[in-house]
Structures are given as C-alpha cells and as structure tokens.
Amino acid sequence: MNQPAARRDPIEDLRRIAFLLERTLESSYRVRAFRTAAAALAALPREDVTLLASTGGLRTIKGIGDRTAAVVEQSVAGEEPEYLATLEASSGGPLSGGGEELRAALRGDLHLHSDWSDGGSPIEEMARTATELGHEYAALTDHSPRLTVANGLTPARLRRELDVVRAVNIAVAPFRLLTGIEVDVLSDGSLDQEPGLLEELDVVVASVHSELRMPADAMTRRMLAAVENRHTDVLGHCTGRYVVDREFLRGRSGQTRSGKARPESQFDAERVFAACAEHGVAVEVNSRPERLDPPLRLLRLAVESGCLFAIDTDAHAPGQLDWQPLGCARAVECGVPAERVVNTWPLDDLLAWTRDHAHRPS
C-alpha cells in the first residue's frame, strides 16, 4: 500500500501548468503564480521541498500560495496534481488539425520575446522551452526603442541583452539561441535601431506597429523601404490585423478578446511580396491566434510571388512557443512548400542566408 510513489518533479509540474495556461493565451499575469513558485522551489534543495510539502510548510515560502502549494504537495506525494490533470484534459491536445508534417520539419522559431521587452519570462526559460519543443535554434527578437509601450530596447540595453544571450547559450547548448530583434518599421520605412547593431544580430524581423491606418501608397513605400533594407531578414505580421479566432478561444474561461479586433493595413501586397522575393526576405507566417497574419488570400499571393517564409510564434510567454501548428496548418492550406520555409533549414544554412539573402540550402 504505502510503497514509494513514482517520483514526480514538482517544479516540472508547475512549469507544465504555466506552459498549458500560456498556450491557451492566458495572460502572463494569471500564469505568474506558477512560474514564481517554480523559481522559488528551484532555489531550494529537493529534500527541503519534500520536507516542507509533508509538513504543510510550503506556504511559508515567499512566492508560494495555497493553489501552488497544493500542486506541490500532490506532486511530491507522487500524484498528478489535480489542477494539472484538469488542464491537460481541457487544453493539452493538439491546437489545430493539418500541417503536422510541416511542423515536424521546423527546426526553430525566429520571432519571440522575453521579459527584456514585453514578454512574460526570462530569456533562459524561453530557450529551455524551445529546446523541449524539439527546436535546434530560436531567435530572440525583443522590441526596438521607439516601441516604448512594449519596453523596447535602447542600443545600450540591446548590447546588454546580447551578453545575456551569450551566457544563456552556454547553459542551453547544443541548442542555439540566436541574437535578434523585432525592429519597428518607422513611418518613413527606416528601421528603429543603429545599423551597426542590426549588422551584428543574427536575425532581424522588421514589423510595422504604428500608424497602421496610413494611406495605401504611403504604407507601400514604407514597407518597400523596409524590405529593401539589407538588414531585414523577415517581414513580420505584414497586415497588422487582429482577429478573434473563436475556434481557438472556445472553452477558455475569463475575458473575451473581441474588443481587440483590428482591420488589415492597406498596401500593394503584389509589390511588397515581389520585393520580398527579389531581396530574399522571408514573409512571416505569424502563428499568434489573434493575428494569423497574413490572411489566407495574401499568403497564397506570397506563394505565387516566389517568396521565402518564416513560420513563427511571436511568443510572449514560453507556452506560446507551441503555437506553430496554427501557422503550419495555414501554410499547408495555401501551398507553402517546406523548402521555402527558412526555419526548416539547418542552422548553418539559415545563418548563411541571413548574411547573404541569395543563399539557399544545397
């Protein structure tokens, strides 16, 4: 009866709960309790955690409350925590049908954020989760200075972030965390970071975040300038739209995001995609469920235009790194060939391409 239970790792159980909540687009705020508790326990010897769990002392630790203590107690007792079991049942399954083969071919993700800009988790946690999802590489692409609402990085902060990335890479090897940026495309089409720094980064995602309603001809000129900029590797979420994906959000409790719907920016997509094809810039398939950008008709146009693609999550929390199936299903629906998706390429080819956009895997 009283035989030792199969050992579970309470820290992994807390991380899994956070991951599943984030994957369903739960706000980082609601997930924080679980990530904070995991970090608090990680700082203690395992024996102390076991002892505290068996004596009811967990709640005396800063960062652990009633709900997280219950999870740890069940986990230490060798049981799957009830809260985790409920979440696995409601939201542990596949996010979308279709695109499984393409998802399996992906080796990395080229668009994600950490708590250095507006993400919810530290750089290393993002990298570790990307590793656990089977990735070989991922590019850290925090925001640029003018995007102050997203705590965009000044040149000085970006340089400091690069030091952190170097340290994280030692901890997560052989996984490779690439340096990068999601750089704002300013209204005149220039990029919001020092050219010298852009030159140094592995991956530059250029995105429009402001003045989304500018007239089509001005927006076209702005986007063309960004695509023609030799630092740009990926054109991020090209229309800037927000949709409400009812299918994805079904079953979620709490707030509705219907207030966030936003129409597409107007621009000459034929010209912009032709420029992407000419300059070897990848069109991003943004997998965020409230973006799903580009819309299918534009994704088909980009395929016809001969563009390269990057299927990215734009994750702002570790669990959101699991959103690629949403983008893959859409890419397959629109006939995107896997060999034109740059993040199916081996790391060496990917880096050769970011240095010289004419490079293709042999």
Residues making contact with Zn ion (CB under 5 A): 182, 207, 314
Q: Could you tell me the smallest distance in angstroms from the CB atom of residue 359 to Zn ion?
A: 25
**Minimum separation from the CB atom of position 106 to Zn ion (A):** 18
When the beta carbons of 125 and 314 are compared against Zn ion, the nearer one is 314
Beta bridge partners of 183: 206
The nearer residue to Zn ion, 13 or 142, going by C-beta atoms, is 142
Give 13 or 314: the residue with its C-beta nearer to Zn ion: 314
Nearest approach, Cβ of residue 147 and Zn ion (Å): 8
* Rounded least distance, CB 248 to Zn ion, Å: 18
Nearest distance from residue 129's CB to Zn ion, in Å? 16
| Nearer Cβ to Zn ion (46/257) | 257
Q: Which of 161/314 has CB closer to Zn ion? A: 314
Q: How far is the CB of 286 from Zn ion (least distance, A)?
A: 8
Q: Which is nearer to Zn ion, 68 or 320 (CB)?
A: 320
Residue 146 Cβ, how far from Zn ion at the closest point, in Å? 13
Measure the CA–CA gap between 138 and 145, rounded to whole angstroms: 22
Nearer to Zn ion among residue 67 and residue 213 (C-beta): 213
